[in-house]
Structure 1
Amino acid sequence: MTTQALITGWLALLVFSFVSTLIAVWPIPAHWQALAGAAILTLAWLKARVILGRYLGLAQAPFWARGFGVSLALFCALLLGLYLIPVML
């Protein structure tokens, strides 16, 4: 892993964290809160992908990266569904 790839991954994590924090602290109207929660969860999913790909080296192992990616996507979809249940009712 090159230093440039690690720095790029670190910068991506900083940006995703900053945007997540902005969404979380910004006063959001009630009818947009479900979308804000979905955006924060999506950013968390992107951060997990960066960590798995850049820092754990799964970018060099496409089979394992795909497996972890699918598992992570299914878990995030489950969390999103659980988060949106009160909105749907």
Structure 2
Amino acid sequence: MSVMDKLDLTRAWLALLGLSVLSTVAAAAISAGFDARVAGVIVMALALMKARLILSQYLGLADAPSWRRGFNAALIVFVLIALGLYLIPSP
């Protein structure tokens, strides 16, 4: 593994750490009166960003653009379905 690869992985890890902190802040804001639905959307968007980062950097899909596009499309569809289910009003 080259020095550049290690640097890219370190940057990816730091980005994942930052996105996780933002997810925690969004979830914790609910107890401070922040709208739970908005916080849920934020957490799901951050989870999508984390998943894309993991697939690109750690699984090496950055070197396979067609595979990356396919996985990104599947992730986006999954997140949209999950968000749709989350935002459906409960009876």
Q: Please report the TM-score for the alignment, with normalisation by the length of structure 2.
A: 0.88
Which protein, 1 or 2, shows the higher relative CO under an 8 Å CA cutoff with sep ≥ 6? 1
Q: Which structure 2 residues correspond to residues 67-86 of structure 1 after superposition, within 5 A?
A: 67-86=70-89
Aligned partner (choices 38, 50, 66) of residue 69 of structure 2: 66
Separation in structure 2 between the aligned mates of residue 8 and residue 65 of structure 1, nearest angstrom: 19
**AA aligned opposite 1:78:** I
CA distance in 2, matches of 1:29, 1:40: 16
TM-score, scaled relative to structure 1? 0.90
Change (3 A) 1:86 1:28: farther
Stretches of structure 1 lacking an aligned partner (at least 5 in a row): none
Number of aligned pairs?
87
- Residue 29 of structure 1, CA deviation: 2.9
Q: Equivalents in 2 of 1:29, 1:85: separation in Å?
A: 20
